[in-house]
Amino acid sequence: MKRSHIIAIVIIAVAIGALIGSLADSSTYADLEEATANPGKEYHVVGTLDRSQAIVYEPSLDASLTSFTMKDLEGRTCKVHLAKAKPQDFERSERLVLIGKANTSGEFEAREMLMKCPSKYNEEHKIEG
């Protein structure tokens, strides 16, 4: 076998290994029940901000921690600790996608959050309609 063939096989094997490794680490969408049942495994959890509970953001103590309560699409609630500063217009968000892991005490530790905020076009449509 030629040296170039061996090198090509090694490169292909490394690429396949990297692909399998990245697929194993990728997170999946779940509800709060599944996420809390598997603490330590990363999930994307979709829900809404529970506006009846307080949002805690104290930049003087920790500028990269926001705590709040989220309600998933099934109606379950969970305390969330977001490892980021409180986003602008957070209270106005319609839907949240949290990326993170549940801990053993049943709270969700999010490293990232995506927000769907109300569109200005939806608000104009409501006024006109």
Q: Is 103 inside a domain boundary?
A: yes
Q: Are 111 and 99 in contact (CB under 8 A)?
A: yes
Q: Are 84 and 113 in contact (CB under 8 A)?
A: yes
- The proportion of the chain whose per-residue pLDDT surpasses 90, expressed as a percent, equals 44
pLDDT band at 45 (very low <50, low <70, confident <90, very high): very high
Q: Is 107 inside a domain boundary?
A: yes
Containing structural domain, residue 35: 28-128
Q: Is 10 inside a domain boundary?
A: no
Q: Is 64 inside a domain boundary?
A: yes
| Number of domains present in the structure of the chain | 1
CATH number at residue 99: 2.40.50.140
pLDDT band at 53 (very low <50, low <70, confident <90, very high): very high
Q: Is 7 inside a domain boundary?
A: no
Q: Is 108 inside a domain boundary?
A: yes
Q: Is 21 inside a domain boundary?
A: no
Distance CA 129, CA 117 (A): 20
pLDDT for res 69: 95
Give the tens place of pLDDT for each residue, 67-114. Answer: 999 999 889 999 999 999 998 888 888 899 999 999 999 899 999 999
Distance CA 47, CA 87 (A): 16
Q: Is 3 inside a domain boundary?
A: no
Distance CA 64, CA 74 (A): 29
